[in-house]
Amino acid sequence: MSIFVFMRFNNSFNLTYLIFALLGGIILIFLIAPLLGLFFSLKAPQLFSTINDSQVSNSIYRTLLISAFVTLIASLFALPLAYILARKRFPLKGLIEAIIDLPIVIPHSAAGIALLGFISRDSLVGSLASSVGLNLVGSSTAIGMAMAFVSVPFLINSARDGFAAVPVRLEQVAETLGASRYQVFTQISLPLAKRSVISGLVLMFARGMSEFGAVVIVAYHPMTTPVLIFDRFNSFGLDYARPVAAIFIAVTLLIFILLRIYQKR
């Protein structure tokens, strides 16, 4: 009797996983099929001419560099905030967490409009920049601000969850042994939450370099690669935009795989 029950349970268990695998496979096909179609539709002459196009290579370099730079700069401010949110209870904490998540849910074109008003010459920030000879609109700085605005919530939320998973008793023991709060953070909390922090950094970097809606409003030029793809599609059509999209996808996929491998290790 017990063997029969076990076999029945085992068959049901396998059937459930089989159904889940089939359903999951549909999602994977949905994600992979458009990308495969993009690469299979490429023509060699167009691909090689696009690879040798300095405008394309410069836009990819610019996109990756700005996204990486703003990710590192934002981490100096985001990680302390994430630690406070993970460790402290205080009034309006829920409101602050909602504000952090707001850039994720609002249309990114709306985020670009808000940023444009924030850095325009008529604003306080824009007028201060103009007083020292800087025009933020249409600059690499504006691109970085747009990337950071839409992507920093991923870093804060991931790091907050990582810090929350660190046992408080370990920090308390360190403090009783004479460690300062800064030492506790840098030598205990941050190393133990490292995987979540790295995951947040990777997500912020990836989200920033893929941003289009906010970037195109605050800085059409100099072009990032997502803006360049749109510009070529809008000006010349699909055949000219497709090779740029394929090259950018290949570059970002390679970088993302390497970053994920590093994170796992």
d(CA 20, CA 155): 31
| 8 A C-beta contact, residue 48 and residue 129 | no
d(CA 265, CA 262): 5
d(CA 250, CA 265): 23
Residue 258 binned pLDDT confidence (cut-offs 50, 70, 90): confident
Instruction: Check residue 11 and give its pLDDT.
Output: 56
Residue 190 binned pLDDT confidence (cut-offs 50, 70, 90): very high
Instruction: Check residue 152 and give its pLDDT.
Output: 97
According to DSSP, residue 153 is labeled H
Among 7-21, 109-123, 124-138, top mean pLDDT goes to 109-123
d(CA 259, CA 143): 23
Per DSSP, the residues of 93-104 read: HHHHHHHHHHHH
Q: Which amino acid is at 126?
A: G
Instruction: Check residue 8 and give its pLDDT.
Output: 54
Residue tagged 């995951």 (tokens): 199
The values of phi and psi at residue 165, to 5°, are -80, -10
CA distances from 250 to 104, 220, 254 (A): 25, 23, 6
Rg (CA), the chain: 23
Q: Is the pLDDT of residue 143 over 50?
A: yes
> Which of 215, 231, 221, 185 lies closest to 83, judged by CA?
185
Centroid of chain to Cα 154: 6
Q: What are 19's two structure tokens? A: 């159904």
Per DSSP, the residues of 6-40 read: HHHHHHHHHHHHHHHHHHHHHHHHHHHHHHHHHHH
Which of 3-7, 19-23, 248-252 comes out lowest in average pLDDT?
Answer: 3-7
pTM: 0.89
CA distances from 7 to 17, 63, 173 (A): 15, 56, 50
| 8 A C-beta contact, residue 162 and residue 87 | no
Total Cβ atoms within 10 A of residue 240? 15
| 8 A C-beta contact, residue 226 and residue 244 | no
Instruction: Check residue 52 and give its pLDDT.
Output: 92
